Amino acid sequence: MDPEVLRTRFAELTTAHIADACIRAHVPVRCAPAGVRAVVPGSRMAGRVLPTRHVGSVDVFLEAYESATPGDVLVVDNGGREDESCVGDLAVLEAQAAGLQGVVIWGLHRDTVDIQAIGLPVFSVGSLSTGPQRLDPRPDDALESASVGEWTVGQADIVFGDDDGVIFAPAAEVDRLLTLAESIRDTERRQAERIRAGETLRDQLGFATYLQRRREQPALTFREHLRNVGGAIEE
């Protein structure tokens, strides 16, 4: 998908909508660990994953920028380490100069004030003053994949980020997922408007009917009921 189209469509969505769309589409929900948060609240990003595996030097980021496509998002695998920061203001500023849409760090950052001033969305586990004091052997595939928590991602993936965190989706499915997410968003907005107008969500979703049916069919789930009535609150 064209990077600008991707950003435009995500601008009216949230990562929660993407997660719900994945569930509805039977696509694995690949959220970064809850500790991966935006350095600047309100940050949003959407773009193709530009993977890097950090071993102690920023040269891996600079090499990744050499082959980056504008609109990519740098995803840094530092193993979730909390004893060193691995991305600072210069790496972020250079990412911006390369046309990237953001940075995701499975690890820590530093230079928080400068990163906030740069304005490029950065998501990380937190901050620490010291950078690496090591230089480990670099694997041959350091620019092919990155692990974030339990998930391994690469250039065949799209990454989304907002105040709820970071989620990854396969690029091959992203158009379908965005369409589903838009449908879920619209349904939820209609439900919210009806609640504000005085119609409870329980009434909208026929919750009393669901409870009666569940007494008759103990295996019936609320999600099955929601799909039957066209409601949305969970997937």
Say what angle helices 3-10 and 174-196 make with each other, to 10 degrees.
20
110 is in an annotated binding site: yes
List, in order, residues 6 or more apart from 197 with CB less than 8 Å away. none
**Per-residue tokens: 18:** 């993407």
List, in order, residues 6 or more apart from 79 with CB less than 8 Å away. 106, 107, 147
Pairwise CA distance, residues 50 & 160, whole Å = 13
175 is in an annotated binding site: no
140 is in an annotated binding site: no
Say what angle helices 222-229 and 207-216 make with each other, to 10 degrees.
130
Pairwise CA distance, residues 101 & 73, whole Å = 5
Answer yes or no: are the C-beta atoms of 185 and 12 closer than 8 Å. Answer: yes
88 is in an annotated binding site: yes
| Site of tokens 């691995």 | 86
| Site of tokens 């480990």 | 136
221-230 burial, b at 16+ Cβ within 10 Å, e below that, comes to eeeebbeeee
CA-nearest of 93, 77, 70, 183 to 125 is 77
111 is in an annotated binding site: yes
Residues forming the annotated binding site for substrate? 88-91, 110
Residues annotated within the binding site are 88-91, 110-111
Which residues make up each annotated binding site for Mg(2+)? 111
